[in-house]
Amino acid sequence: MERVFHVKNRSEFLKYLDSVSKINDSAIFDIKSDSITSLVSSADNTLILLSEFVTESNFTTTINVPDIKKLYRVLETINEDEFDLKINGNNLEYKGKNLKFKYHLFEEGFLTRPNLNIEKIRNFTYDVTFNITKAVLQQLFKGSTFASETNKVYIYTEDGDLKAELTDRARHNTDNFTITIDSADFQLEPIPINFDNIRLMSAIDNDYTFNVNTDHGVVVVDNNSNSIKLKYIISSLTQ
């Protein structure tokens, strides 16, 4: 039996691959009957992405993709919004009316997954949950050109407001840039996050849902659309 998985929406699939490629150049993808999932980590292991894309296939398997950006570029050449990809022994194959290609995969076992218990993360209880819009993050990105001496962002509550501050509280005479995210009916002590990890997150939807577990020093950020689910696990920094 031929192993084929069906992509319903080319642009959404490209968004999914782009999101994964921001975290790591290569990845192991698990193909199931109704979805593709992957688990990747950044180079310093302070950011992990659990991702899922809704699709259809007539089988289950695992593929090791050596260069996600390269796969992205060749899929961009497909003119159809809906298409099939065939999985052969060591490659992905596409055959269209005017275009065909083969993209070769790594052998099974060549790549390794991040050492993380996903079920433990999914079962975490969180002290607080809040949303941050893409517009607010864009303000922070602009502010980072001013507060350029630090790569930390502190998220905390003060006087009934949720705030984000770019600074380094462990150093003296560091410029800071602070914005109010929203009003808050909860208390949150400052939790520092590597700002580069925020830059790597993809905005599939305009709102990011931040879930904070202060006991474990973990921030889990969800960003979902109809066909894409992204869960970023970020380890907090020391003050």
Please indicate, yes or no, whether residues 141 and 206 belong to a single structural domain of this protein: yes
Please indicate, yes or no, whether residues 103 and 10 belong to a single structural domain of this protein: yes
Query: In terms of residue numbers, what domain contains 172?
Result: 125-210
Q: What is the pLDDT along the chain (239 residues), one digit of tens a residue?
A: 789 889 999 999 999 999 999 999 999 999 998 999 999 999 888 899 999 999 888 889 999 999 999 999 999 999 999 999 999 989 999 999 899 999 999 998 889 999 888 788 778 889 999 999 989 999 999 999 998 888 899 999 999 999 999 998 888 888 899 999 999 999 999 999 999 999 999 878 779 999 999 888 899 999 998 899 999 999 887 65
pLDDT of residue 119: 83
Half-sphere exposure of 15 (CA within 13 A, CB side): 20
Please indicate, yes or no, whether residues 87 and 8 belong to a single structural domain of this protein: yes
Please indicate, yes or no, whether residues 91 and 154 belong to a single structural domain of this protein: no
Domain count, the chain: 2
pLDDT of residue 202: 82
Q: For the domain that residue 92 is a member of, what is the CATH number?
A: 3.10.150.10
Please indicate, yes or no, whether residues 103 and 129 belong to a single structural domain of this protein: no
Examine residue 230 and state whether it is found in any structural domain, yes or no: no
pLDDT of residue 131: 95
- Of the residues 84, 110, 136, the one at which a domain ends: 110
Examine residue 61 and state whether it is found in any structural domain, yes or no: yes
pLDDT of residue 238: 66
Please indicate, yes or no, whether residues 137 and 206 belong to a single structural domain of this protein: yes
Rounded to two decimals, what is the model's pTM?
Answer: 0.93
Please indicate, yes or no, whether residues 103 and 144 belong to a single structural domain of this protein: no
Q: Using an 8 Å Cβ cutoff, are 177 and 149 in contact?
A: no
Examine residue 227 and state whether it is found in any structural domain, yes or no: no
Q: For the domain that residue 202 is a member of, what is the CATH number?
A: 3.70.10.10
pLDDT of residue 173: 82
